[in-house]
């Protein structure tokens, strides 16, 4: 939980387990692991969408 960024300390991890229950925490862990897998895949293979940049956002704000 700490390595995935869900909890900052072991104590916080235990408190989250007590507060939300094992099933809910397992869902969070699975979600964070999937996100980490996608990030690693994108870093390795490149982002799947071509031509995306922040220029579209800048044009809409003006």
pLDDT tens across 11-54, in order?
A: 999 999 999 999 999 999 999 999 999 989 988 887 777 766 66
Residue 3 lies in a domain: no
pLDDT score, position 43: 85
Per the structure, how many domains does the chain have? 1
In a domain, 18, yes or no: yes
Residue 2 lies in a domain: no
Rg (CA), the chain: 17
Q: Which letter does DSSP use for residue 30 in this model?
A: H
Task: Decide: residue 16, CB within 10 A, 0-12 exposed, 13-18 middle, 19+ buried.
Answer: middle
Residue span of the structural domain in which 14 resides: 10-61
What integer pLDDT is reported at residue 53 of this predicted model? 67
Domain membership flag for residue 36: yes
């Amino acid at each position: 939980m700490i390595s995935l960024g869900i909890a900052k300390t072991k104590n916080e991890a235990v408190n989250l387990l007590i507060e939300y229950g094992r099933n809910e925490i397992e869902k969070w862990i699975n979600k964070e692991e999937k996100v980490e897998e996608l990030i690693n895949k994108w870093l390795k293979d490149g982002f799947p969408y071509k031509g995306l940049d922040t220029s579209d956002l800048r044009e809409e704000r003006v």
